[in-house]
């Protein structure tokens, strides 16, 4: 049984003339790991801040566990846990003091607070460091502690804003494992914002591609990649080779390679080889390249995520900065 936990209704947030979030609607079911994928400045964090009641939407609304984010702020706050993009720990307190503070803010009774803290410190492997001041923690340890803190009051929904931003590859992988384990063990619904393609691909059940405050596509990573229309087969050959088959969707030559777009390429590979052999063509190398979310992003927005980041994000940032002055 899956039920809807989060629902957004035409959510909009304008900062003066900048449309940071421009009419976003979608829903998330219980137990999902849902990814908001987009370049920096696409509006991911703004959506998150609205959902966790820190920002008021310009128009539209959303419900979390059937509570309206505009009207039932306290109920919403009780149902969610958040790990912000930037650390939000008190670094002059120890790990367990930070957790204890959180537990009291969320009104968790003392004995439950105690065992919950132990359990979560165990989960994020910080039990032996619980009495160390947070300022002596590494970036990865802080992140793990924040995840533990976000779970302390047993929220139904956990928001993770760029959970692995600025972490080394090993720690990133570690955190992915935690997130997956967490989702499996506690059935908590997780919403992740990220601009890392691999992160969204590996972690999320469903991904929403966000570009300039709007949703370009929502689906499972596999389906999104399928929407591109297949995989890419690159053939390196010096001969003239132009296979014509109904299952080949497109052919283009580039840099001494012949690139074919094909559905279920691994199954078509042998017939392709056969055709080449019949025509007496020597193939130097052949690779199958599955489309990545990077290709998907390109497909839906017409730009790569890096191109987007350099133009749009700076624009939004600068305007937001001048607003806060």
Partner 1 sequence: MNLDAIYILWLREIKRFMRSKSRIIGSLAFPSLILIIIGTGLNSVFTFGRLSYIEFLAPGMIGMVLLFSSISFGIMIIWDRQFGFLKEILVAPISRTSIIVGKTLGGVTTSMFQALLFLIVCFAIGIKFPSPLRLVLLFIVMILIAIGFVLVGIAFSSRMKDFHGFSLIMNFVILPIFFLSGAFFPLDRLPEWLKWFVYVDPLTYGVDALRFCMVSTSTFPLWLNLLVLIAFGTLATSIGTLLFRTTQL
Q: Are 150 and 191 in contact (CB under 8 A)?
A: no
Nearest-approach distance from CB 323 to partner 1, in angstroms? 10
Stretches 23-31, 57-65, 92-100, 176-184: which one binds partner 1 (CB under 8 A)? 92-100
Please state, in angstroms and rounded to a whole number, the distance separating the CA atoms of residues 86 and 240: 55
State the DSSP H helix or E strand holding residue 117, giving kind and residue range, or none if neither. Answer: helix 110-123
Question: Which of 53, 47, 52, 48 shows the shortest CA–CA distance to 20?
Answer: 47
Nearest-approach distance from CB 310 to partner 1, in angstroms? 26
Nearest-approach distance from CB 52 to partner 1, in angstroms? 5
Contacts of the segment 204-207: beta carbons below 8 A, 24+ positions apart: 204/33, 204/34, 204/35, 204/37, 205/32, 205/33, 205/34, 206/28, 206/32, 206/33, 206/34, 206/35, 207/34, 207/35, 207/36, 207/37, 207/293
The angle subtended at Cα 297 by Cα 293 and Cα 299, nearest 5°, is: 110
Residues 49-68 that bind partner 1 (CB under 8 A): 49, 52-55
- Which of 10, 25, 91, 229 is close enough to bind partner 1 by CB under 8 A? 91
Q: How many residues does the chain have?
A: 325
Stretches 13-21, 46-54, 169-177, 218-226: which one binds partner 1 (CB under 8 A)? 46-54
Q: Are 293 and 200 in contact (CB under 8 A)?
A: yes
Name which of 37 and 147 has its Cβ closer to partner 1: 147
Region for 212 from its dihedrals, namely left if φ exceeds 0, alpha if ψ lies in -120 to 50, beta otherwise: left
Please state, in angstroms and rounded to a whole number, the distance separating the CA atoms of residues 112 and 21: 39
273 binds partner 1 (CB under 8 A): no
State the DSSP H helix or E strand holding residue 175, giving kind and residue range, or none if neither. Answer: helix 169-186
Name which of 93 and 251 has its Cβ closer to partner 1: 93
Residues 104-123 that bind partner 1 (CB under 8 A): 104-107
Nearest-approach distance from CB 89 to partner 1, in angstroms? 7
298 binds partner 1 (CB under 8 A): no
Nearest-approach distance from CB 49 to partner 1, in angstroms? 7
Name which of 23 and 87 has its Cβ closer to partner 1: 87
102 binds partner 1 (CB under 8 A): yes
Name which of 101 and 273 has its Cβ closer to partner 1: 101
86 binds partner 1 (CB under 8 A): yes
87 binds partner 1 (CB under 8 A): yes
The angle subtended at Cα 179 by Cα 125 and Cα 85, nearest 5°, is: 95
Name which of 102 and 174 has its Cβ closer to partner 1: 102
Stretches 12-20, 85-93, 121-129, 296-304: which one binds partner 1 (CB under 8 A)? 85-93
Which residues of the shown chain bind partner 1 in the complex (CB under 8 A)? 49, 52-55, 74-75, 77-78, 80, 82, 84, 86-93, 97, 100-102, 104-107, 324-325
């Amino acid at each position: 049984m899956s039920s809807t936990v989060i629902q957004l209704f035409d959510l909009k947030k304008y900062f003066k003339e900048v449309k940071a979030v421009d009419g976003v609607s979608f829903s998330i079911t219980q137990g999902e790991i849902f990814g908001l994928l987009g370049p920096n400045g696409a509006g991911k964090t703004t959506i998150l801040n609205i959902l966790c009641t820190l920002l008021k939407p310009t128009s539209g609304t959303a419900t979390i566990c059937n509570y309206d984010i505009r009207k039932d702020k306290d109920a919403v706050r009780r149902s969610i846990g958040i790990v912000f993009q930037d650390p939000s720990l008190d670094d002059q307190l120890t790990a367990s003091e930070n957790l204890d503070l959180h537990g009291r803010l969320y009104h968790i009774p003392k004995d439950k607070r105690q065992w919950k803290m132990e359990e979560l410190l165990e989960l994020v492997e910080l039990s032996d460091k619980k009495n160390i001041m947070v300022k002596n923690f590494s970036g990865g340890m802080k992140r793990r502690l924040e995840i533990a803190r976000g779970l302390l009051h047993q929220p139904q929904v956990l928001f993770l804003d760029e959970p692995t931003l600025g972490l080394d590859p090993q720690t990133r992988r570690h955190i992915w494992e935690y997130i997956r384990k967490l989702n499996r063990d506690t059935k908590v619904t997780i919403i992740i914002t990220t601009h890392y393609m691999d992160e969204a691909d590996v972690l999320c059940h469903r991904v929403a591609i966000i570009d300039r405050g709007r949703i370009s596509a929502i689906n499972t990573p596999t389906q999104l990649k399928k929407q591109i229309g297949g995989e890419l087969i690159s053939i390196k050959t010096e001969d003239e080779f132009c296979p014509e088959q109904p299952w080949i969707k497109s052919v283009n030559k580039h840099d001494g390679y012949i690139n074919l777009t094909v559905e279920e390429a691994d199954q078509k590979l042998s017939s392709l080889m056969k055709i080449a052999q019949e025509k007496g063509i020597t193939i130097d190398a052949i690779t199958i390249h599955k489309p990545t979310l990077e290709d998907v992003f390109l497909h839906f927005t017409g730009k790569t995520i890096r191109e987007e980041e350099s133009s749009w994000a700076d624009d939004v940032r600068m305007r937001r900065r001048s607003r806060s002055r």
